[in-house]
């Protein structure tokens, strides 16, 4: 697949004086010229968004190959809106067992209270999905690659199954940021992103987006956000729009650093396995090569750390890699993930010997990042031998 490198510039303003990015309009009330405009002109109220929100929507449509985009205040809200807009009481939604934890929680807790059943499926098992499809299933949620464990499903095959049953498909496309993957182009009905991650890119603002090419789906999404009062403020929208201007350049560097670290970790004695779709050792590498044009800075590895105190020794010795949730900013991050994993069958980590560590390669010098990890491995070995 071809990488998406084209991003639009601000189209607003007069030809004689137009800023690169649109101005931030801090407004709740919009002054309208007459009674007719009061009830017919959109937006007629600031919550619906003004110039900067419209420009961000246009940029995201360009990025994802979409006709319609709706903004939300966070990535989780984007995922929730995408699912809730497609189901009603008595329906069922299928979700990949590897999706982002809060998305799963929303489906299994909040949707259940709304009368919607939620069933997980094995992201690598087409038969498992086929067996779970029935007349009550109205939506199917994927994430590519899966959160924490980085499985990649056979999306075109799943889309074919879903379409034959009249089921809408949704994909969390945050990992690729729309640069390395365009799910709408391979038949997915709805693509969502946590703009908080790569689009904002500086760990200082929240945002989400829901994109589609189907007017009926877009109308349902728009009606739901109107009914629930979901919107994004102008400052957050501006931060996200500004991030789109450097997105390709940043993602390219994140990708290069992550691959360099992943290849180095594969040969390290303190690492039992590296989980990165761009590596030939990854079980879904062929699917990644077919459907993606690149990879981002986020991947995982299995640390040879039998006890929790060994993990703590490794983490405590790190200086450049910080301990913190989220990712996508300029800073490198690292978290142990075993505490978050709640998988269908047995604990996923029991399939591997060691502790699951998720790593985000930031924009620091990759040699410095490698030295920082080596410092952690040295501390780990000292703890194991003490």
Q: Is residue 6 part of a domain?
A: no
Last residue of a domain, one of 228, 245, 262: 245
**Same-domain check for residues 79 and 66:** yes
Which of residues 181, 212, 245 is at a domain's end?
Answer: 245
Indicate whether 213 and 267 sit together in one domain: no
Do 97 and 234 share a structural domain? yes
**Which one of the listed residues 100, 124, 238, 284 is annotated catalytic?**
100
Indicate whether 84 and 144 sit together in one domain.
yes
Residue 332 shares a structural domain with residue 213: no
10 Å CB burial of residue 34 (0-12, 13-18, 19+) is: exposed
pTM (2 decimals)?
A: 0.91
- 165 with 256, same domain? no
Q: Which of 122, 172, 189, 284 is catalytic?
A: 172
252 and 236 share one domain: no
Residue 147 inside a domain? The answer is yes
Q: What is the rounded distance in angstroms from the CA atom of residue 141 to the CA atom of residue 150?
A: 15
Based on the fold, state whether residues 175 and 265 are members of the same structural domain. Answer: no
* Annotation says 197 is catalytic: yes
Eight-class DSSP state of 108: I
Give dist(CA 44, CA 23) in Å, integer: 18
In a domain, 112, yes or no: yes
Closest CA to 234 of 67, 28, 20: 28
Q: Residue 55 — left, alpha, or beta (φ > 0 → left; ψ -120 to 50 → alpha)?
A: alpha
Cβ–Cβ < 8 Å for 332, 321: yes
C-alpha distances in Å from residue 235, one per residue of 16, 42, 160: 25, 20, 40
172 is catalytic: yes
Q: What share of the chain is helix, strand, coil (3-state, %, to 5)?
A: 40, 15, 45
Residue 226, domain member (yes or no): yes
Domain match, 181 and 262 both: no
Which residue is catalytic, options 104, 138, 197, 383? 197
Q: Which residues contact 166 (CB under 8 A, 6 or more apart)?
A: none
| 173 and 198 co-located in one domain | yes
How high is the pLDDT of residue 349? 47
Centroid of chain to Cα 12: 29
Evaluate whether 227 touches 100 at the Cβ level (below 8 Å).
no
Note down the domain range covering 124: 35-245
pLDDT score of 44: 74
Kindly list the averaged pLDDT for each block of 10 residues, start to end, along the chain of length 386: 62 61 81 76 73 93 96 97 97 95 94 96 92 96 94 96 96 97 97 98 96 97 95 95 95 98 97 97 97 97 93 97 94 90 59 85 98 97 90
Residue 348: per-residue pLDDT: 54
Q: How many domains does the chain have?
A: 2
284 is catalytic: no
| pLDDT in the model for residue 215 | 97
Predicted local confidence at residue 29, as pLDDT: 78
Residue 5 forms part of a structural domain: no
Q: What is the spatial distance between Cα 310 and Cα 320, in angstroms, rounded to a whole number?
A: 19
Q: Is residue 189 located within the same domain as residue 274?
A: no
30 occurs within a structural domain: no
Would you state the pLDDT for residue 169? 98
CATH of the domain at 145: 3.40.640.10
User: Residue 293's domain is classified under what CATH number?
Assistant: 3.90.1150.10
In a domain, 28, yes or no: no
Domain-embedded: residue 157: yes
Same structural domain for residues 349 and 208?
Answer: no
The CA R_g of the chain, rounded to the nearest whole Å, is 22
Q: Which of 227, 245, 263 is a domain's end point?
A: 245
């Amino acid at each position: 697949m071809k990488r998406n490198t084209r991003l639009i510039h601000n189209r607003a303003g007069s030809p004689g004086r137009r800023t690169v990015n649109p101005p931030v309009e801090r407004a709740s009330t919009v002054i309208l010229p007459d009674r007719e405009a009061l009830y017919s002109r959109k937006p007629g109220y600031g919550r619906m968004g003004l110039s900067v929100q419209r420009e961000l929507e246009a940029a995201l449509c360009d990025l994802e190959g979409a006709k319609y985009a709706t903004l939300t205040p966070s990535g989780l809200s984007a995922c929730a809106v995408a699912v809730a807009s497609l189901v009603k009481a008595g329906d069922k939604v299928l979700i990949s067992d590897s999706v982002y934890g809060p998305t799963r929680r929303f489906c299994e807790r909040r949707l259940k209270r709304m009368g919607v059943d939620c069933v997980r499926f094995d992201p690598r098992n087409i038969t498992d999905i086929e067996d779970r499809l029935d007349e009550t299933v109205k939506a199917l949620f994927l994430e590519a690659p899966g959160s924490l464990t980085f499985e990649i499903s056979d999306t075109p095959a799943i889309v074919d199954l879903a379409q034959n049953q009249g089921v809408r498909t949704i994909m969390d496309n945050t990992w690729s940021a729309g640069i390395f993957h365009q799910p709408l182009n391979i038949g997915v009905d709805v693509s969502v992103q946590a703009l908080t991650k790569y689009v904002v890119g500086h760990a200082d603002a929240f945002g989400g987006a829901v994109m589609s090419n189907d007017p009926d789906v877009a109308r349902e999404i728009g009606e739901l956000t109107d009914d629930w009062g979901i919107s994004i403020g102008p400052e957050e929208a501006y931060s996200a729009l500004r991030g789109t201007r450097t997105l390709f350049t940043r993602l390219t560097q994140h990708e290069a650093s992550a691959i360099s670290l992943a290849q180095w970790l594969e040969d390290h004695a303190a690492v039992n396995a590296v989980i990165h779709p761009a590596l030939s050792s990854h079980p879904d590498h062929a699917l990644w090569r077919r459907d993606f044009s690149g990879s981002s800075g986020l991947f995982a590895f299995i640390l040879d750390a039998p006890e929790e105190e060994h993990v703590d020794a490794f983490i405590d010795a790190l200086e450049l890699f910080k301990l913190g949730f989220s990712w996508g900013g300029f800073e490198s991050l690292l978290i142990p993930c075993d505490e978050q994993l709640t998988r269908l069958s047995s604990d996923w980590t029991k399939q591997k010997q060691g502790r699951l560590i998720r790593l985000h390669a930031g924009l620091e010098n990759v040699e410095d990042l490698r030295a920082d990890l080596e410092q952690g491995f040295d501390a780990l070995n000292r703890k194991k031998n003490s």
